[in-house]
Structure 1
Amino acid sequence: MHENVRETVRRLCIHGARVTVVCSGGPFAASLRETSAQVLETDYELINGLVKEALKWGPFDLVHVHPGPSREFGLRLARVAGIPVCLTLHGEWLDNIHMFWDRFARIFTVSQAVRDKTLKAAPAAAGFVEMMPNGVDLEKFTVYQRLAPPESGRRPRVIVASRFDADKQRLTDFLVELWQVQKPEAVFHWEVAGTGTQIGQLQQAADRLNRTYGTDLVRFHGWLEASALYELYTVCDFSISPGRSAMESMAMGLPTVALGSQGCFGLITPDRTDQAAWSNFGGAGLLEQTAPTSVLEEMLRLWQSSAKFLATARFVADYIHKNFDAAHWHDQLESTYLSVLNGEMRPLVSDAKSPQFPT
């Protein structure tokens, strides 16, 4: 979410908008200031006082909120200022959307599964719900020219790119079990990019794995900037990652296992890409779980077939390039902002059940 918000803010500022972001202090707030945005830091403890303070930073034309305190603050600010408000829903938590849906000019969902869940909770909101998936910066993450069959005679290298916090405990638990069941005939090297409150659990599991095989099979890189993450992708063969990170690795031409907050989707093969996208690559709406042993077997089989490996790599890269270009979706968001400002609470003309991906 943070990466997507930062890129949205950056593009809005470039296009001449005056953007104010209300968020907690820290590295994210600092990075937003680099985009020329105003940043009002808060802990959301005193909502009414925060609204009064925010009004001094105006005037504003539109508010865009997320679930939780952000939603409560944004609705109050919009009511006082008399301006429209939009909401983005990211996963299983809908934040009582059935009680508030008619307060929003638009409700954005990051996947079809979240959209379906939203409409089940608030059927009358159908005309105001719009798909707005996360996208990939294809200027940073693209390696069509690098796609090649796997080299024989070496262990495959796997990147795991994610946050490792309490909301992604299933992801952490899965990796711990995956390393426990790794067998000599299916030994992989692991590159872990990211940090979080649960990273200690992974480090302990990695220490056990490294001791078992007498070599460093797992390396931790911490949080990486996009350029460093790109370089790490280029030396890996597979990815096991959630959401946006899964899409980035696919765009890079890496066969990818979608592993998110709701569990493991499994290896994304050409016949399962739409299903993976529906659940936001392991997030809300995941219908079936793939066991760690099955994931290792799937990856090993693909590694042992150069033709299938290359075909999968090309397909998933093509899929992301055609459907999840961040530039397209940020343009779509800005277009919706303008539509809302011109028509305010007017419902959408059509109520398509599927995302209208660019061609």
Structure 2
Amino acid sequence: MRALHVITGLGVGGAEQQLRLLVRHLPVRCDVVTLTNPGAVAEGLRADGVRVLHLGMRSNRDLAAVPRLARLIRRGSYDLVHTHLYRACVYGRIAARLAGTPVVSTEHSLGHAEIEGRPLTRGTQELYLRTERLGAATVAVSETVAGRLRAWGVPAARIHTVPNGVDMAAFRFDAGGRRATRARLGIPEDAFVAGGVGRLVPGKRFDVALRAVAALPDAWLVLAGDGPEAGPLRALAARLGVTARVRFLGECGTGATAPGVPAVLGAMDTFVSASREESFGLAAVEALASGLPVVHAACPAIEDLAARVPGAIRIGSGSAAGDPTDELTAALRRLRAGGTRRLPPPSALDHYDIRLSSRRLMDVYAHATAPVTPTERAHP
């Protein structure tokens, strides 16, 4: 089987990194097309030996991108097109239908009021639903997202839940690496360090983590990621008087001075995710795989598991109405008082092993490429 993955952009982000990891583990020959921004993840995919093409889409309304993509799909003789992120799903479904190729779409970042960190409008929802009908299947990265899709009106039979996957071995704790990363970042070896990983956007509420650490003398904070809130967060750290105890690392693993996510997690004593809402919560799963306690607000990856997850501490409601700063401060104070120690990765995380996710996705691919029955042909 030959599959073409179509994604909106390939800058550093959860969906983009997940695509790279997935392509490594799928038993399928894969090429990747990015509509815009062939960034750091494109470089990583090429280093993995994956063919990456840039469609050169100029704007959200660059309709000429549709026939260009359709021609590319035809020339490649792909058996399947797999789209990721809103813009790629809308344009990719249309192009794949024009090319006569079945298409599967993964919904990575659907919230109650936002999609991919942007306000969710009626027009956005309507365009999504109209083009969703052109696909063979829609993949939800969590049961939470599957429920949101059903609430939108996507038929349950079209929704397949395939959770994001994690390469657990890549996050195994390394004491020597911890000391080296702390030295590299200028953090004392015996300091209590909280941290977060993700796009610096308002919905992630990294300001809550800053305020909590500011209330704990001698505690440190490490934030890995970039985005529009980088400037305001630095300004807030200065106002709170904690600049010397905070490390803003930018995008992990994309420069000579930026350590990768496993190394950053290894340098922490606890992980914080105060997000208002999430579609999955991949960074929290990676932190648990690294043996960290995780203090979280909204996190479907943890909440959707049937079993209790040791080391996961729930705060707040995850809603816009509640400010979990006080709860987070209290939780960090308790963890600091209890002493720092690494936890065994919870067995429940086996549900998110990348090899299992790839097998689940192959089942969806088989469903999408199965011969169409006369009834289905008559009633698309």
Same fold (TM over 0.5): yes
- 1:170-202, CA deviations, whole angstroms, 9 ceiling, x for partnerless residues? 32xx33344346565555201121222321112
> Secondary structure, in 3 states, of the residue corresponding to 1:219?
strand
The alpha-carbon distance between structure 1 residues 79 and 131, as it changes in their structure 2 partners (threshold 3 A), is same
Distance in 2 (CA, whole Å) between partners of 1:4 and 1:102 is: 25
Query: Could you report, residue by residue, the CA deviation over 1:242-271 in whole angstroms, capped at 9, with x for unpaired residues?
Result: 62111101111111123xxxxx439x9x99
1:3-33 CA-to-partner distances (Å, cap 9, x unmatched) read: 1111222334xx3514242332232322222
The yes-or-no answer on 1:253 pairing with 2:291 is yes
> Following superposition of structure 1 onto structure 2, how do residues 207-226 of structure 1 map, counting pairs within 5 Å?
207-209=238-240, 212=241, 216-225=244-253
Quote how far apart the aligned CAs of 1:328 are: 1.1
- How far apart are residue 108 of structure 1 and its match? 0.6
Kindly indicate whether residue 334 of structure 2 is the aligned counterpart of residue 301 of structure 1.
yes
Corresponding position of 2:368? 340
Instruction: Tell me, in whole angstroms, the C-alpha distance in 1 between the residues paired with 2:323 and 2:143.
Output: 21
The alignment covers a number of residue pairs equal to 312
Instruction: Indicate the percent of aligned positions where both proteins have the same amino acid.
Output: 21
Structure 1 residue identity aligned to 2:265: Y
RCO greater where, 1 or 2, for CA within 8 Å and sep 6 or more?
1
Relative to structure 1, the CA distance from residue 56 to residue 89 in structure 2 (aligned partners, 3 Å threshold; closer, same or farther) is: closer
SS in 2 for 1:30: helix
SS at structure 2 position matched to 1:103: coil
Question: How does 1:59-138 map onto structure 2 within 5 Å?
Answer: 59-90=77-108, 91-92=110-111, 93=115, 95-96=125-126, 97-122=128-153, 125-138=155-168
Alignment-mate amino acid for residue 198 of structure 2: S
Partner SS state of residue 166, structure 2: coil
The TM-score with structure 2 as length reference comes to 0.70
Report if aligned partners of 1:61, 1:83 keep a CA contact under 8 Å in 2. Answer: yes
Query: For the aligned residues, what is the CA RMSD?
Result: 3.6
1: CA distance between counterparts of 2:353 and 2:322? 28
Alignment of 1:249-288 (within 5 A): 249-258=287-296, 264-265=297-298, 286=318
Gaps of 5+ in 1: 147-152, 259-263, 347-359
Residues 206 and 218, structure 1, Cα contact 8 Å, conserved in 2: yes
Determine the C-alpha separation between the residues in 2 that align with 1:299 and 1:342: 51
Query: Which of 259, 264, 268 is residue 232 of structure 1 equivalent to?
Result: 264
- Structure-2 separation of matches of 1:232 and 1:181: 20
Q: Structure 2 unaligned runs (5+)?
A: 1-14, 116-123, 177-188, 276-280, 375-380
- What's the TM-score, normalizing by structure 1? 0.74
Q: Which runs of at least 4 in structure 1 moved beyond 4 Å after TM superposition?
A: 181-187, 270-277, 285-290, 343-346
Post-superposition offset of 1:145: 9.6
For residues 32 and 39 of structure 2, what CA distance do their matches in structure 1 show? 16
> Structure 1 residue 296: deviation in Å?
1.0
